[in-house]
């Protein structure tokens, strides 16, 4: 390669790494906020501080500090955000692209790396077998009460959600739409609730592409 090509490639690697660092730091701030909200929620439920500390890998004193601090993330959305960040970190990082100050410039023009052949970047979710029914009319799940979901939908020890609590209902629907089979979705999801919750549900891009055509009328409204 020529000197210009060498410089252009070197600058592009600097830019790519710095942009990803910007995203990671922004996501870290979001996660700190979510950990605080989750910690305060657990303590509010009566979970002993030492158990919360053990789950979070911190000291009981740190739990006390978190509980005493002002609230952070929107309490109505934080469970769904935790699901999104832990299930699809690549999508979560992508949301933090804004605000990066770096500019890929090589005088007298701007140009991204073009002279270096690199393998396509793949997210680990690219191969995940997302599913969706052919029609919302297939969904006849419960609309009230407690619902237990399969382990492949939620790997937590006791994956039970309350349809009476909005945040729990939204977290369950996001999990089933993201990780459930079509049979799971037919059994656990209700078409009316899917329509109601759709504007507030965060899904990985490929899962969203499967569900979006079924809810085009909701998006239009």
- Predicted pLDDT of residue 5: 64
Among 33-42, 82-91, 115-124, 185-194, top mean pLDDT goes to 185-194
87-122 burial: b if 16+ Cβ within 10 Å, else e:
bbeebbbeebeeeeeeeeeeeeeeeebeeeeeeeee
Residue 204 has pLDDT above 90, yes or no: no
What is the per-residue pLDDT for 63?
A: 87
Rounded to an integer, what is the distance from CA 100 to the centroid of its chain? 21
Q: What is the CB neighbour count within 10 angstroms for residue 160? A: 12
Q: What is the mean pLDDT of the chain?
A: 79
Identify the pLDDT of residue 118: 44
pLDDT band per the 50, 70, 90 thresholds, residue 197: very high
Q: Match 């690219």 to its residue by tokens.
A: 126
Q: What is the mean pLDDT of residues 34-47?
A: 88
Tens-place pLDDT, residues 109-157: 444 444 444 444 434 444 567 899 999 999 999 999 999 998 888 877 7
CA distance 66 to 62: 6
Mean pLDDT to the nearest integer, 90-114: 63
């Amino acid at each position: 390669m020529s000197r210009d090509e060498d410089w252009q490639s070197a600058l592009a690697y600097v830019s790519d790494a710095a942009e990803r660092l910007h995203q990671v730091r922004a996501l870290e701030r979001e996660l700190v906020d979510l950990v605080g909200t989750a910690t305060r929620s657990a303590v509010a439920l009566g979970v002993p501080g030492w158990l919360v500390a053990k789950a979070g890998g911190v000291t009981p004193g740190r739990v006390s500090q978190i509980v005493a601090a002002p609230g952070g993330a929107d309490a109505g959305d934080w469970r769904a955000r935790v699901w999104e960040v832990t299930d699809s970190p690549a999508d979560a990082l992508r949301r933090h692209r804004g605000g990066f100050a770096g500019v890929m410039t090589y005088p007298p023009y701007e140009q991204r790396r073009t002279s270096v052949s690199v393998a396509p970047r793949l997210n680990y979710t690219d191969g995940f077998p997302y599913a969706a029914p052919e029609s919302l009319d297939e969904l006849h799940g419960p609309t009230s009460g407690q619902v237990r979901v399969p382990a492949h939908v939620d790997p937590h020890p006791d994956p039970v959600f309350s349809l009476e609590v909005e945040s729990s209902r939204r977290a369950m629907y996001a999990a089933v739409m993201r990780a459930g089979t079509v049979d799971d979705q037919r059994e656990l999801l209700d078409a009316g609730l899917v329509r109601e919750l759709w504007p507030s549900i965060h899904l990985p891009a490929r899962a969203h592409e499967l569900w979006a055509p079924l809810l085009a009328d909701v998006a239009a409204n």
